[in-house]
A = this chain, B = another copy of it.
Amino acid sequence: MISLRDQAIFEAGIKLGALYHQFTGTPVSPESADSLERAIEESIRNQPYVESIKVRIDREVLKKNINRFGYAELNGLMLEVELLVKVGDVRVHARMRVVDGYPLMSLERVD
């Protein structure tokens, strides 16, 4: 049996996997990071069951990745995401952040 809880968790995973592989590789600089954060949030918010999403590009990590042309490519080490997905009355809080030097997607809480 697949429960609403199962479905909500599955949807949260889909969103984080999608976000990561759609947007990593995007050219980004300190000047353009704001508009990219907003565009990712507004884009993913279009998808079904997304209640809210907060995307932050870590400016310190971004600066360390800047090439001689003055920009970086968005990667997992720069990305912080907080996601709330709702299916039926089940709310799933998931996130992406760097843990022990690796970008990690994790389930935080299911209400």
A positions within 8 Å CB-CB of B: 2, 5-7, 9-29, 31-32, 35-36, 38-40, 42-48, 67-71, 73, 94, 102, 105, 107, 109-110
Contacts and interface: CB of A to CB of B under 8 A. Distances in A.
Counting every copy of the chain, the complex holds 4
A102 B29 CA distance: 17
Given A35-B35, A36-B43, A42-B31, A94 B25 contact: no
A49 to B, nearest CB: 9
A16 B12 CA distance: 11
Contacts of A45: 32
B10 A107 contact: yes
A43 B28 contact: yes
The 6 closest A-B pairs by CB, nearest first: A13-B13, A17-B17, A39-B39, A17-B18, A46-B71, A32-B42
A70 to B, nearest CB: 7
Contacts of A107: 2, 6-7, 10
Contacts of A109: 2
Given A10-B10, A31-B42, 12 more contacts: A6-B6, A6-B9, A9-B10, A13-B17, A14-B105, A18-B21, A21-B22, A27-B43, A27-B46, A27-B47, A32-B43, A35-B43
